[in-house]
Structure 1
Amino acid sequence: MKQLREKIEELLCNSKCTKEEISSIMREKALYPFSRESRILAYLMSLGEITYDEYAKLDEDYCNRNQFLELFDMAPRTYGQTWGEEYIRKLFPQFIKATKENLADVYPDFDGEFDLWLDGIRIEVKACRANSTKSSGSLASRAYLHTEAHDTGFKYHYQQLKPSCCDVFIWIGTCRDTLLYWVLSSDELLKTGKLGSQHRNEHTGTADNPVFEGQVFMTEDELLPFFVKEENILDAVYAKGKSKIDK
């Protein structure tokens, strides 16, 4: 919204609109799906200050900058435990949702310790939303563009990681204008030296336990070795998963 408001302010400064007209529009109550911004743009079009094509371009640019903004309005559990896994399965139906029923014949000891299954490869999916931690307001109002997340050195936080219980991790980074993907094996995760304890409980919070549950905070630059394009996620999981289970 910041970029759109700056553009509207620029248009108003270069228009013939008086301060009284602008103030009157801004004072009027706006209810969804209308807004003060759309009302001002409609008024500028009515005066011939902008064309419909210019209005459409503003709309297109706004949609491109905010195509994933709705994900910042999701409840944490829905986003973290449901959306990411379902999104990956929509991209690649080859991934099988890990349930006792689905894995009864191939992995009868399954007990909910990973999310997806792919030809013997156990996969855990995690997602993190990039947002400013230095400002107040709703999560959506603090959502970062990809360039903002990178330039500020935002640290993506992935938690409840159990490298002993899966072969490959798929991590999703959500910015309001794009999605980022990182694929890494459980061995690669351990080698980063970034995995720390969450101290969730006495059974999984210490490194000497058989099932260690930890978390990482990593910048995009630190995650770069594991970056994959969306269309290459499946191949990356196969490559890293097969090398892990063939050892």
Structure 2
Amino acid sequence: METLEKELDTLIDKLNNSINFRMELENISSVYPFSKYEYIISTLLSKNVLSFDDYLELRDTYINRNLYLYLFEMAPRTFGDTWGLSHLMSLEPCLQRPNKKIDPTYQLEYDLYLPCPNGNIKVEVKASRAQDRDKADEPMIVKAFSSKSKGNFLMNFQQLKPSCCDVFIWIAAYRDSIKYWVLKNSVIQKHHDFTPQHRNENTSKREKDYDKAEIYEGQIMITNANISSIKEYMVNSRGIRQAVIEQFEA
């Protein structure tokens, strides 16, 4: 939104009555679908400051910068359990939902499986939305982070249970792109920043009072400081299946 506001601000400067127009904007009321931005753009068009072709370019560029912004409006469970799994299965149809016919011991402890000659690979899917850490008190949609930004970000991958699956697939949603990582369960278990999801008297101190191998359910917060630790596990959407097999066999 900051980029769009700067672009519109430059165009407003070209209006003959730009000072009065800015004062007018401070008092404008907005009711969906009419907004401040709609009013600015319609004014710029009517005053021939913005041509229709330039408007279309402005619109298309904004959409491309915010292609996945709608994901930041979803409730957490809808984003992770509904969108995340559906998105992944649309990319890789070989990934299937488990049931007791496939796995008699199945108790909802993992999300998907990948059929292989040597047995099914149990896959746990975790999705997180990249958030701007400098906007911590803002609504989720305002915190939506761009993959091209140099700012501070946070992604929290939660409810990680390495003992319940063979491989993890992580999905990270940015406002402008989607990224994927495929990690063996032992990579998660041994990660420096893998901490208990639920603290208790035995795990209250972060690094001294518990053994990572004893964590049943944990989390990893990915930030600017540690994202390099998972760099080697990043894959493109076409390489997910092969990466799952390679991580399983690693």
In structure 1, distance between residues paired with 2:112 and 2:236: 19
Determine which of 218, 222, 227 is the counterpart of 1:218: 222
1:12 is aligned to 2:19: no
Tell me the equivalent position of 1:90: 90
In structure 2, distance between residues paired with 1:158 and 1:40: 39
Counterparts in 2 of 1:44-63, with a 5 A limit?
44-63=44-63
Is the 8 Å Cα contact of residues 170 and 181 (structure 2) preserved in structure 1?
yes
* 4+ long deviations beyond 4 Å: 204-211
In structure 2, distance between residues paired with 1:23 and 1:154: 34
Q: 1:210: how far off?
A: 7.2
In structure 1, distance between residues paired with 2:18 and 2:212: 70
TM-score by length of 1: 0.86
DSSP-derived class of the 1:215 partner:
strand
Structure 2 gap ranges (5+): 205-209
Determine which of 111, 115, 126 is the counterpart of 1:115: 111
Structure 1 gap ranges (5+): none
CA deviation map 1:122-149 (0-9, x unaligned): 000001111123332211011111122x
| Equivalenced residues, count | 237
Amino acid of the structure 2 residue aligned with 1:187 = S
Identity %, equivalent residues: 34
RMSD: 2.5
Q: 1:26: how far off?
A: 5.2
CA deviation map 1:175-216 (0-9, x unaligned): 1111111111112223433321122679x9965887711111
CA deviation map 1:148-195 (0-9, x unaligned): 2xx335342111111111011011111111111111111222343332
Counterparts in 2 of 1:1-247, with a 5 A limit?
1-24=1-24, 27-98=27-98, 103-119=99-115, 120-135=120-135, 136-148=137-149, 151-199=150-198, 207=211, 212-219=216-223, 220-241=227-248, 243=249
In structure 2, distance between residues paired with 1:12 and 1:179: 34
Is the 8 Å Cα contact of residues 130 and 143 (structure 1) preserved in structure 2?
yes
Amino acid of the structure 1 residue aligned with 2:122 = R
Is the 8 Å Cα contact of residues 164 and 210 (structure 1) preserved in structure 2?
no
Is the 8 Å Cα contact of residues 26 and 36 (structure 1) preserved in structure 2?
no
Q: Call closer, same or farther: CA 1:209–1:187 in 2, change over 3 Å.
A: closer
TM-score by length of 2: 0.85
Amino acid of the structure 1 residue aligned with 2:185 = S
DSSP-derived class of the 1:164 partner:
helix
Q: Call closer, same or farther: CA 1:201–1:49 in 2, change over 3 Å.
A: same
